[in-house]
């Protein structure tokens, strides 16, 4: 029997009523239902797709509502925000750091979030080496990482060029014993969607990397697909989707103070 994507809710009746009234919890259930549907259409098991609820700019109270609905996998894009939120939430959350990570932020991130499970993603050898060194120095278990690939060719996007992804994946796998290479990730266009060509490019990168490393493709995940395109991403092989606004609502950025 396949494990459910949403854990059984063991809350009290009062808590259950509170969760039911939460728009975010309802939105999560809708997303998981859509994952089930698209998985069935393309002959995949729903439990093969990880849903990362991206809570960027959202308060701890809202994250807690989604947690209380049974979800355990959350993602953040800013180190400071993640370091502030994580201690206020249960330790069994699987945190993903998503996006560009600066070298000077590596130690604060790893020491401030002991339950950090993944970094999505690494885009050069320098950040890979820094992560590898800090993981060793603080004595934590190997950190799971994705290599970020710029599949759209946009200059504004971080990520290694597709032509260089094999060498970076080999560096992480062979020269960074404190990192666990888990797969590849890509970030969509400015409208948070990607074209089929972007997804196909990432899948092609996986084929090349698996051949170079001598590993089966099942051992190399694809993190692709966000709120606007996760169903298409699943159809094209994604194992890790990152859903933010569809679950939590539009992001709320602080207004800049006027001069």
- 225 within domain boundaries: yes
Q: What is the pLDDT of residue 188?
A: 66
Bridge partners (DSSP) of residue 50 are 240
Is the pLDDT at 53 greater than 50, yes or no? yes
Residue 71 lies in a domain: yes
Residue 254 belongs to some domain of the structure: no
Q: Give the range of the structural domain holding residue 40, as residue numbers without chain letter.
A: 17-248
22 lies in a domain?
A: yes
Number of domains in the chain: 1
CATH number at residue 188: 3.20.20.10
Task: Please check whether residue 87 lies inside any domain of the structure.
Answer: yes
pLDDT in tens, 89-121: 999 999 999 999 999 999 999 999 999 999 999
Q: Which residue has the tokens 């278990």?
A: 141
Convert the pLDDT of each residue in 208-258 to its tens digit: 999 999 999 999 999 999 998 999 999 999 999 999 999 999 877 665 444
Average pLDDT in the chain? 88
CA dist 227 and 244 (Å) reads: 6
150-170, pLDDT tens digit by residue? 998 888 889 999 999 999 999
User: Is residue 233 in some structural domain?
Assistant: yes
Within a domain: residue 149? yes
Residue-wise pLDDT tens digits, 187-199: 866 555 567 889 9
Q: Does residue 8 lie within any of the structural domains?
A: no
């Amino acid at each position: 029997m396949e494990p459910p994507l949403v854990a059984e809710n063991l809350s009290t009746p009062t808590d259950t009523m509170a969760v039911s009234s939460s728009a975010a919890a309802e939105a999560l259930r809708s997303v998981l239902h859509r994952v089930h549907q698209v998985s069935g259409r393309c002959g995949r098991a729903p439990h093969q797709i990880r849903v990362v609820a991206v809570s960027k700019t959202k308060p701890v109270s809202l994250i807690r509502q989604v947690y209380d609905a049974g979800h355990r996998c959350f993602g953040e894009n800013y180190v400071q925000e993640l370091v502030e939120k994580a201690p206020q939430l249960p330790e069994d959350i699987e945190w993903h750091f998503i996006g560009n990570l600066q070298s000077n932020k590596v130690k604060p991130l790893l020491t401030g979030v002991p339950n950090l499970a993944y970094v999505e993603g690494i885009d050069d050898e320098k950040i890979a080496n820094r992560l590898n060194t800090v993981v060793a120095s603080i004595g934590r278990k190997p950190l799971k990482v994705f290599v970020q690939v710029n599949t759209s060719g946009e200059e504004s996007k971080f990520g290694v060029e597709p032509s260089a992804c094999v060498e970076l994946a080999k560096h992480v796998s062979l020269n960074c014993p404190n990192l666990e290479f888990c797969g590849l990730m890509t970030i969509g266009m400015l409208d948070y969607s990607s074209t089929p060509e972007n997804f196909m490019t990432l899948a092609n990168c996986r084929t090349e990397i698996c051949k170079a490393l001598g590993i089966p493709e099942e051992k190399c995940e694809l993190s692709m697909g966000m709120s606007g395109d996760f169903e298409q991403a699943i159809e094209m092989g994604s194992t890790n989707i990152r859903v933010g606004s569809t679950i939590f609502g539009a992001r709320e950025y602080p207004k800049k103070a006027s001069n």
